[in-house]
Amino acid sequence: MPSIAAQPYEYELPSDSQVALIVIDMQRDFLELGGFGEALGNDVKLAQAIVPTVKQLLEGCRSLHLPIFHTQEGHLPDLSDCPQSKLKRGKGNLTIGDQGKLGRILILGEPGNAIIPELAPLPGEVLIPKPGKGAFYNTDLEMQLINRNVTHLLIAGVTTEVCVQTTMREANDRGYECLLVEDATESYFPQFKQATLEMVRAQGGIVGWTANTEAVLQGLRSWKAGE
């Protein structure tokens, strides 16, 4: 059976369903100076560093005609979909809804909430606005996956230990076979990224698999060639 060289063991590719790529929250608010990531005191250059690799992964999956999903964390302008517990976080910094250098922080439609231009969705790709950290919470992602007969998910984006890991765990609980692309995800804290990679593939892949972009694309090309 076609597979991707991964940890903790080979990630088998399906013979009768589809593989999709989900790119998590590659937004200006998290990657650029003046956004929410920097407002929280983080070095956004760490997250920026993966952009070329995410683009390589994205273009590779596009060339193979895989379903592609982009998520975008954000809230309605009146914040009616944002719980008070989330609004109160990060005392001493700009918080959700405040006016920042890139517009109102984490508000749908504001300049800072947009996906960075290098990774912008193309026509036919699905953009999933999400009010929470996980991509399945209060969104139609699961129905979109079901409609496309998707059973296997490749996951990339930021940040590894928060929105990426949350989405992967949500997907795992729903029966999806998940692979986290190691060099196409990043955290503001390198030790958090490493810990997440180890957690998801521990105990025989209790949450899923990990592999780098080169291995992922090589495996996908062989899989598609054999169809």
- The reply to whether 25 belongs to the active site is yes
State the average pLDDT for the chain: 95
Active-site residue among 61, 163, 178, 193?
A: 163
Omega of the bond leading into 77 within 30 degrees of 0 (cis): no
Is there a catalytic annotation at residue 140? no
What does the pLDDT average to over 85-102? 82
Task: Look at residue 91 and tell me whether its pLDDT is greater than 80.
Answer: no
Which of 25, 61, 82, 178 is an active site residue?
25
Domain boundaries, the chain: 3-225
Decide if 88 is catalytic: no
Tell the CATH topology of 3-225: Rossmann fold (3.40.50)
Q: Looking at 29, 61, 82, 130, which residue is catalytic? A: 130
DSSP string, 12-61: EPPSSSEEEEEEE--BHHHHSTTSHHHHTT--THHHHTTHHHHHHHHHHH
Of residues 40 and 148, more confidently modeled: 148
Write the pLDDT tens digit of every residue in 169-206: 999 999 999 999 999 999 999 999 999 999 999 999 99
How high is the pLDDT of residue 92? 58
